[in-house]
C-alpha cells in the first residue's frame, strides 16, 4: 500500500465535495483523460465513473466503482484499467480545525499483472502520480471553498 498525505487549507466538506463530483476526476486524477459518464448516485456504494485513460486515439475505457463511503470522511474506490488490472484507492479526510484538513490517499495495485510488482516497486510508480493528484484535488477544494466564501460575501 502506497500512502501519501497533504494538509489542505480547505474544510473537509470542500475536499469531499470534489470527491463527490465524479465529473471532476479528469481534472485532478493524473492519467485520467476523459470522463464518459457518471452514475447519478455517485458516490454511493456500487456507483461508477466511466472513464478513459491515455491520449486519443490510444485510449483505454474502463470504470471506477465506489467500494466504501463515509460522507465527508472516507472514500474507497476500485479503479479498473482494462487488462492491466485494478487498484484499490482510498481517501481519508481528517479535519484540522477551521478551514483546514488532512487528506490521506492510499493506493494498492490489487488485481492483474501490475499487482505482482513488489510493494517497493509499486511505491516508486505510484507515489509521484498520487502526490500530483492529491495536489490537484487540494487546489480544486481550495477553489471551491473560495468561491463558496465569495458567494456568501456577495450575497
C-alpha cell at 76: 474507497
Q: How far apart, in Å, are the Cα atoms of 49 and each of 33, 94, 117? A: 13, 25, 26
* Beta carbons within 10 angstroms of residue 62's beta carbon: 19
Supply the pTM of this predicted model: 0.90
Would you place residue 146 in the very low, low, confident or very high pLDDT band (cuts 50, 70, 90)? confident
Stronger pLDDT, 34 or 149, i.e. the higher one: 34
Model confidence at 63: pLDDT above 70: yes
The yes-or-no verdict on residue 92 having pLDDT over 60 is yes
pLDDT of residue 11: 95
pLDDT value at 147 more than 90: no
Residue 2 sits at φ, ψ, to 5 deg, of: -100, 125
Domains along the chain? 2-149 (3.30.530.20)
**Mean pLDDT, range 66-90, rounded to an integer:** 92
Amino acid at each position: 500500500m502506497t500512502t501519501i498525505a497533504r494538509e489542505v487549507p480547505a474544510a473537509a466538506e470542500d475536499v469531499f465535495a470534489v470527491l463527490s463530483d465524479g465529473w471532476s476526476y479528469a481534472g485532478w486524477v493524473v492519467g485520467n483523460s476523459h470522463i464518459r459518464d457518471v452514475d447519478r448516485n455517485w458516490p454511493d456504494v456500487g456507483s461508477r465513473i466511466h472513464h478513459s485513460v491515455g491520449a486519443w486515439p490510444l485510449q483505454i475505457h474502463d470504470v471506477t466503482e465506489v467500494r466504501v463511503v463515509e460522507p465527508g470522511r472516507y472514500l474507497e474506490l476500485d479503479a479498473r484499467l482494462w487488462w492491466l488490472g485494478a487498484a484499490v484507492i482510498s481517501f481519508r479526510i481528517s479535519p484540522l480545525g477551521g478551514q483546514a484538513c488532512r487528506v490521506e490517499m492510499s493506493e494498492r495495485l490489487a488485481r492483474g499483472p501490475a499487482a505482482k510488482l513488489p510493494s517497493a516497486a509499486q511505491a516508486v510508480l505510484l507515489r509521484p502520480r498520487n502526490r500530483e493528484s492529491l495536489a490537484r484535488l487540494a487546489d480544486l477544494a481550495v477553489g471551491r471553498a473560495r468561491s463558496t466564501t465569495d458567494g456568501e460575501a456577495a450575497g
